[in-house]
């Protein structure tokens, strides 16, 4: 089974490979398309361009996973694809809010604030969950400068003392979970890959 991933950061590809390798069976293969130029304000033009890419990827895979939260809305525009197209953070939002309660959503990139807020607010409303958004100030500049250790440390520090479910909304934030053993957060790669694999299996059965 092949899952095609569309990323806006090359560094996210190995995070999803690791998540796929952790699934039982070992029959899942990921392919990666990286378009760093799409990581900007999600205008209609940007979303349309991303949707075209998603449709193209769907012709060569069992399912497609859009891993960038900033342009996540493009997945909805590509639902006419021949194979399932999912946004990884959509699966995360569903998993985070399903049990209700308080959900703390941490994000780093300023461009992802509104797309992430809209996504999680819809999921929280459906499950009667209380949503609290947290921007990790200064983190994104560290990521862009290649200071990964400081970036992840800033994220882990921002999560300290939060009561309730903690969610790291961007794929690049996932390695910070290793710095938070006392309160493990929900992260994008594992949940997103599992959702894509499940969608691919269901599509095969239906087809």
C-alpha to C-alpha distance for 168 and 73, rounded to whole angstroms: 18
pTM over 0.85: yes
Tell me what pLDDT residue 170 has: 95
100 touches 79 (CB < 8 A): no
Same domain? For 120 and 170 the reply is: yes
**Does residue 182 share a domain with residue 98?**
yes
One domain, residues 24 and 81: yes
pLDDT for position 204: 84
DSSP characters over 144-206:
HTT-HHHHHHHHHHHHTT--SEEEE-SGGGGGGGGG-TTSPPEEHHHHHHHHHHHHHHHHHHH
Would you state the pLDDT for residue 207?
67
Do residues 97 and 177 both lie within one domain? yes
Q: Do 26 and 46 touch, CB atoms closer than 8 A? A: no
The per-residue pLDDT for 24 is 81
Q: Which residues span the domain enclosing 54? A: 2-88+189-206
Number of domains into which the chain is organized: 2
Low-confidence ranges of the chain (pLDDT < 50): none
Does residue 76 share a domain with residue 97?
no
């Amino acid at each position: 089974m092949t899952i095609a991933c569309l990323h806006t950061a090359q560094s996210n590809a190995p995070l999803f490979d690791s998540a796929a390798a952790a699934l039982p069976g070992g029959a899942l293969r990921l392919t990666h398309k990286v378009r760093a130029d799409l990581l900007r304000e999600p205008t209609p033009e940007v979303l349309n361009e991303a949707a075209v890419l998603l449709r193209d990827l769907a012709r060569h895979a069992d399912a497609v996973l859009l891993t960038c939260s900033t342009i996540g809305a493009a997945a909805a525009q590509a639902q006419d694809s021949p194979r399932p197209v999912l946004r990884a953070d959509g699966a995360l939002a569903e998993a985070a809010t399903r049990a209700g309660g308080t959900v703390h959503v941490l994000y780093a990139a300023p461009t992802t604030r509104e797309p992430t807020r809209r996504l999680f607010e819809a999921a929280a409303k459906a499950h009667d969950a209380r949503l609290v958004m947290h921007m990790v100030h200064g983190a994104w500049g560290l990521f862009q400068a290649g200071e990964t250790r400081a970036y992840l440390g800033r994220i882990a520090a921002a999560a300290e003392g939060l009561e309730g479910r903690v969610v790291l909304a961007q794929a690049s934030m996932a390695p910070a979970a290793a710095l938070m053993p006392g309160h493990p957060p929900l992260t994008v790669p594992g949940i997103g890959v599992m959702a894509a694999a499940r969608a691919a299996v269901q599509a095969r059965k239906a087809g």
